Amino acid sequence: MAQETDIAKMAAQVVAGNRRALARAITLVESQRADHRADALALLEAVGQSKQALRIGLSGTPGVGKSTFIEAFGMFLTGLGKRVAVLAVDPSSARSGGSILGDKTRMDLLAREPLAFIRPSPSRTELGGVARRTREAVALCEAAGFDVVLIETVGVGQSETVVAQMSDLFVLLLAPAGGDELQGVKRGIMEIADLILVNKADGTLKPQAIRTCADYAGALRLLRKRPQDPDDFPKALTISALESDGISAAWDEVQALTHWRKDNGIWDQTRAAQRGKWFQDEVRHLLLARLHSDPDLRAQMDTSEAAVSAGDTTPEAAAARIVASLRESS
């Protein structure tokens, strides 16, 4: 009963906008301990899903200035009176599992802004640089009353569709580059980006940034139009995060696309599809956890893996036997 009271108290504090309670709540949902997981589920049920924030996924090539952009963008939004949460997913070491988690040091001004909340989280080698529980952290930020949630991901690759599946808009941040810079961005990324922002459009790089932006604008016109977009989206813009130039224009485009999708029912359809996808993902995770936690099934998994590696059986046949054993043990 005491634990239930603690969870209820934490939920009430989160809903009231208590940032320390929010930080503790996110720590709880990120925990891999079984007892913490039960508490996390109870907490998520307690805070509910009545509030919605604008979720913006953000990715970009290393050195493009993601942290500088997020700080400039976040300060602009807080200047408008909006509450902004930043969920920055740091890459974890494949060897040690550790992460630097230095985003707060890179966003010093935003970290001290009362209307902002920055939470770095380790990716723990999850696909696309998105921690498995990032979507639950997003739900907690929404429950806490934040207006905008920025989800910064690790790197650029086709796996960035993971963050697009939990965002309302996906922003790709790029820098001016020489040569075949357009060839360096995969088509899959181009197809999921709602806005391409060419950063560092200042000083001597400004002319090159303008040319790069024009190249991407041309490439976007060659892609098939998406049904969830108005005629002039997706689009490319130039910005200077260092000088906060173009930030207001980028926000205007974000708002225009958001309003269009809400007015045309795309927003609700996307959110419904996301919830269904998350349900399927969670079922798969729980089934894998069951295989690894049951000693008999784990032993059978190890034996089957060895047989597959030795070429004594096919992966498909071995997997079918494991699933049959799982069904029999239920």
Residue whose C-alpha is closest to residue 116's, from 128, 103, 129: 103
pLDDT score for 26: 94
Percent of the chain with pLDDT over 90: 54
- Compute CA 244 distance to the chain's CA centroid, rounded to the nearest angstrom: 24
Nearest 5°: the CA angle 63, 101, 238 is 30
Read off the tokens for 11.
Answer: 């939920």
Q: What is the pTM of this model?
A: 0.85
Side-chain-facing half-sphere of 223: CA atoms under 13 Å:
23
pLDDT score for 131: 56
Query: Which residue is associated with the tokens 């060897």?
Result: 95
Mean pLDDT of 226-248: 89
Residue 105 neighbours by CB distance under 10 Å: 11
pLDDT score for 97: 41
| Rg of the chain over all Cα atoms, to the nearest angstrom | 22
Q: Contact 75/39 with Cβ under 8 angstroms?
A: no
d(CA 69, CA 198): 11
Where is pLDDT greater, at 126 or 189? 189
pLDDT tens, residue by residue, 104-142: 567 889 999 999 999 987 655 444 435 568 889 999 999
